[in-house]
Each structure stands twice: as structure tokens, then as C-alpha cells.
Structure 1
Amino acid sequence: MQVEGTILTGRDFDPIEGRVVVEDGRIEAIERTATDSSDIVCPAFVNAHTHIGDSIAKEAGRGLSLDELVAPPDGLKHRLLRETSAEEKVAAMRRSLRFMESTGTAACVEFREGGVAGVEAFGRARDGLDVEAVVLGRETEAAMHASDGFGASGARDSDFAELRRATREADKLFGVHAGERDSHDVDGALDLDPDFLVHMVHATDEQLGRVAREELPIVVCPRSNLVTKVGAPPIAKLAEHTTLALGTDNVMLDSPSMFREMEFAAKLSDVSAEAVLRMATVNGAEIAGLDYGIVEEGTRAKLLVLDGDSDNLAGARDPVRAVVRRAGQADVKRVVL
């Protein structure tokens, strides 16, 4: 299989004219050659933080605070999840996963509520789809063992030390929410020695110094943070200290569109389009232990092909900025997963 056009290659997304040759699911070669194609070929996205179960409650909870919306066990989303049948949850999650696949998301890192049953329901929702998932169980050690790791709600919610120990012994991924409402739970989250942190809107300079020393990546979710009125993540400042990835967070609050998340992040912060595209692709892939998120020979072929001659993208002078700040679902020509 081959795809042609302007190819955004490597970690810096250097644009070259040519073709990508794919064999047995891997990028065999990237060939510079003249082509008539106006397509833009870039890595497929990795959505580094999702709560897909919330698909049963899109746009619910208008005007509620963060705690009223999502705090366990009695936030609105948790009440609605308890009231919804397993079949309805699976059907709703499947629709969100289909949307993600069609808009160029190769994989998501899912914080999965509902214990073992929740993990199994997510598996049923994804059955037969090409979008991959790194699923982090929640609430119980059994859910961690049934999934790819553990996704902790936050250090203020519970003592996760034993679950962290068990996750480490199982050699699985451990992520934790931190610094979303304020800085008070950040030190507790750091003490857990997580593999990555989520949000960090309100981390102090001292806490960010520790993040840098311990080389802990952060997943930011700017649209969600604005919707829940906790503030905007200081993306440029965070990026000075560590690797950042991008997530869309709760489907209840925002569509799981990486196009929308990238545009919002880019226009909200003083960081380059290349930095934002890394956040949406290779940085998330590396957090999740995935061998893609970059157009490079030898990696798995997870590619997004955009129509560079669409009414929206035609005339774009900078293909990376066009992908990050302008492209959308209507520009997707092909998704190679």
C-alpha cells in the first residue's frame, strides 16, 4: 500500500513531497518523489486522556461545577452511569469510538469506570473497530489486572498507595489526575510516582520543578478545563518542564475530536503548531507505550490523510499549522489504521 502527497515526517513534521510505502502494517519506506497529489499525510492521533463511558450523557449538567459533574461517587456522571444499562453504555461508547476512528484517532488512553465490568464493557464497545485503546481500570485492583493499568481519580479522593504498588508489580501503566481544582493534591499525586499526570492546571513552580526532575509527562485537556471552569492549563509553562500530551477528557463535556482539541490548544497557548501536533501524536503514543504517532520508517503505519485541496485547506502555506489550527472532520480523506 502507498499514500502520496505532502508527508509530515519525523518528530518535527518536516514536510516532504513523496510517498509512504506500507508493508505488513509498518512503514517500509518514505520516498521523496514528485507527485500530483495535494494530500497531506500525517501521523494518526493518540488521544491521551478519555472517559468514553460518559457518552451516555453528552451535554448534561449545564452550569454545574466540576465536583457536581464528575466527582466520585455522586457526581452527575456517576449517577447517570449507575442508571444506564450495560447495553446502552456499550452502544454509546461504540458510537464515540467510531467517531474517533473516522476523525483519525489511532488510539486513546481510557480511564475506565465500573471496575472489571466496565473494562469488559469497553472491550465489547471496541470489538471489530480499528481504533486501539490503552484501558486503565479504576476503583479496584481487579480492574487493574483486567486492563492495561490503573487510572486514579486523584490523591484527595483516596489512598492509592496500595493500588500503585500492585500496578507496579504487575508492570502496568499508572496515571493520576492532579492539579485540576487547585494545587493541594499535586504533592500526593507525585508521591505515588505515577507514569503520567493528567491536568496540572494549578501546579506550583516548586511542584513543576519536581515534575521536571522526575521526568513525569503531563496530559493536558484544555477544552474540558474551560468547560468545568477550573481555568486554562498553562501549556507553554508546563512544556518548559516536561513532555506534554493532549486529551479530550469526558465525552460528557466535549466531543472526542483531536482536531478541536489541537485548534483550541494552539490558539489558547503560545506554543508552536509542531509542539501541539507532537502533543496529539507521538507524545501520547510514548506515554501509552505505542509504536506509532510518527511518520518514520520502521514504525507501525497509523496514518491520517487529509485532502489538501478541500475548500477549507486549499491555499494553506504551512501544512503543519493547517493540520493543527484549521483541519477538521470534513477534510479527512483516508485513515490508515
Structure 2
Amino acid sequence: MTDPAADEPGSGDTETYEGTVLVGEDFEAVEGRVVVEDGAIAAIEEASVASDDIVCPAFVNAHTHIGDSVAKEAGRRLDLDALVAPPDGLKHRILRETPDEELVAAMRRSLRYMHATGTTAHVEFREGVAGVDAIAAAVDGLPVESVVLGRETVAAMEHPFAAGFGASGARDADFDAERAATRAAGKLFGIHAGERDPHDLDAAMDLDPDHLVHVVHPEERHLDRLAAEGWPVVVCPRSNLVTGVGVPPLRDLLDRTTVALGTDNVMLDSPSMFREMEFAAKLTDATAVEVLRMATAAGAAVAGLNCGAIEPGRDARLLVLDGDSDNLAGVRDPVRAVVRRAGQGDVKAVVP
């Protein structure tokens, strides 16, 4: 059993989580406990413990659009542009037509589900100032951190709740002014690129983004630029298959740069990192360690957060799984179990 226990009753300053602890960015399986003090990991203690739990970093979902939580499974048989291209894709029409209160309530439900499935932070692309206002209202009071990249206008990026600018793609507009304003503000700049073909990748890379999203169709020169410049890439393989654009070349990307994992639009897929990890692991030749790193430490790096690995000094964002559940009992490789097998029913605790 996990044993969150304060040093003094009611102090809440120190807690411990026991079991098989997946330590560091290579997720070495260590029997023992994680000691948490004042919200940070203070120590990992190797010891013989009675708990069957698996303690791993909580997930960082590196690319989401949760505004379309009001339109789950809408748009059957529509192509990518008809679904989500601005300004009049189905998603954008639905967002314009839906009352703010309904949008906020739907996003809040998605955020609660994300936390219940082990996610404590996400990078969210949100449309306009009103969109940033809406996500700020939706996440208020929930134990999830929304790293919001405002879209469409510089004003959305400059919103106090926004961490940067999220560009739709270089084929949609010239984002030089937005990139310059974001850089001047010291904020993050992310851009969709290479989703349906390679033709917008050069222009996206010329903007020197903080990260690129999708990169399903890189050519060799794009891979060379990734290796040289070190731009992180966020992949969303389930979404890419739903929209019919293909599967990102994970091996090529992982061999060249940091790769993180996102779930993309809620209208297309549930924001479950369990599902995204299993899909990525079974569809590609990425190892379980690589996929779990994509869902944790790499996502934290993209978001600029001090979490994603169980190491002293990191923020204590943890996921505790019941290793004795009917689903996980008998597991021989805990990293593969988290990536390929675990689900919401195995979750015992999400910290915080």
C-alpha cells in the first residue's frame, strides 16, 4: 500500500509513497519509497517495503485542444481541414456557436478526466483572448496546470494567464510578427507543422520555434535541422490516424531530438495519456522507456516545468498505480506495464 504519512499529524509537510519506484528519466525500477517535502521530491530511499504499488511520474500532456470538449466524436468522415482548419473548420464553428458557460463546463470535465488518468499538466492551444479566459476559468481550483498558448492574436499571447503563442501552421499565415512579439515577451512559441505534408516545415522551422507539433512528414533535411537546432517535437499519433494524415516517424524523430506526447483535440480522442502511450508503443518501434519519457520528462521540458521524473529537487507530481490490481498483478516489467497495459482503473493516487 502507498503510505502518505506526515511527520506530525496534520502538518502536511512530508509524505512518503512506497512500492516499486521508477527513478530518473530512464525509469530504473527501485524498491523503496519517495519522500516528498513541501511539494518537492526530497529523496528516494531504497528499502524493502510491503507495497505492490508502482510509483512513477505523473504525465505531462504536451499538446491539447480541450475547447472542443463540447463536440466529442463530431465530424465523422471529414478531412483534417474540414475538421479543424481556421477560421471555419467544424471545430471553430462549434466554438463560436457554443455559449461560454457550456464551453467552460465541458473543458472542466476534460480536465478532471485528465487528472483521473494521471495527467497533472498540459500544454493547451486556445483561440483568442476569450479562449484563454475560458481555460483559466475551467482549470480554476483543479489540481492540473494548464500551460496555455494563446492563438490568433498577439493579445491572446499577452494575456496574463498565457504562457506563449500557439500558431496554427505556416501555411495558414505569416507568423513573423507573432514570433517576434512572443520572443520579446519571453514566452513560449509552438507551431503545428508537417501534419499533412512536408511543405510547411521549412517555414515553421525558420521561425525558430520553441517546439513543433505533429511532424508526420519530415524529409531528410528537416530531420537534419532538428538534430542541429534541437527543437523539441510533440507527436499525437492517435489524432494523426483519425484525420488520415499518417503515423509520425518516431524512430527518426527520437534519434534526433526530444520528442513529447500529446493527445490533441478532445473532439477526436480522449485526453488519456494511457491510451496515447499504448498506441505509440504498439504502433511503432519506440521502446517503453522512450514512450514513458515522451509522456513525462519530455512533456515537462516542452512546457518549461520542473517535473516529469522522480529525482530529488523535482516537483512532486506523481502517479501511484495499484500493482496488485487484476490488470497489473503478475507484471514482470513495470515500465512496459505503465506504458502498454495500465489504465484509469489501476490508479490509486495522483499527486498533487
Structure 2 residue identity aligned to 1:111: F
- Name the count of aligned residue pairs: 336
3-state SS, counterpart of residue 320 of structure 2: strand
Structure 1 residue identity aligned to 2:138: A
State the TM-score, normalizing by the size of structure 1.
0.99
Q: Which of 131, 150, 161 in structure 2 is aligned with 1:137?
A: 150
Q: Which of 27, 34, 37 in structure 1 is aligned with 2:51?
A: 37
Counterparts of 1:180-329 in structure 2, within 5 Å, are: 180-329=195-344
Structure 1 residue identity aligned to 2:148: V
Post-superposition offset of 1:238: 1.1
Q: In the alignment, what sits opposite 2:183?
A: 168
Q: Name stretches of at least 5 consecutive residues in structure 1 with no aligned partner.
A: none
CA distance in 2: counterparts of 1:202 and 1:26, whole angstroms: 39
Superposition CA RMSD, Å: 0.5
CA distance in 2: counterparts of 1:81 and 1:29, whole angstroms: 46
In the alignment, structure 1 residue 156 sits paired with structure 2 residue 171 = yes
Post-superposition offset of 1:92: 0.2
Post-superposition offset of 1:72: 0.4
Post-superposition offset of 1:129: 0.2
CA distance in 1: counterparts of 2:313 and 2:254, whole angstroms: 28
Contact 2:123–2:148 at 8 Å: present in 1 too?
yes
Structure 2 residue identity aligned to 1:133: S
Post-superposition offset of 1:98: 0.4
Q: In the alignment, what sits opposite 1:84?
A: 98
Q: In the alignment, what sits opposite 2:71?
A: 57
Q: Which runs of 4+ in 1 moved over 4 A?
A: none
CA distance in 2: counterparts of 1:26 and 1:116, whole angstroms: 33
In the alignment, structure 1 residue 72 sits paired with structure 2 residue 86 = yes
CA distance in 2: counterparts of 1:142 and 1:206, whole angstroms: 34
Post-superposition offset of 1:211: 1.3
Q: In the alignment, what sits opposite 2:112?
A: 98
Structure 1 residue identity aligned to 2:31: E
CA distance in 1: counterparts of 2:222 and 2:16, whole angstroms: 47
Percent pairwise identity: 71
Contact 2:223–2:256 at 8 Å: present in 1 too?
yes
Deviations 1:80-133 (A, max 9, x none): 1111000000000000000001111010000011x1111011000001001101
Structure 1 residue identity aligned to 2:230: E
Q: In the alignment, what sits opposite 1:20?
A: 34
Post-superposition offset of 1:140: 0.5
Q: Which of 102, 112, 133 in structure 2 is aligned with 1:120?
A: 133
Structure 2 residue identity aligned to 1:199: H
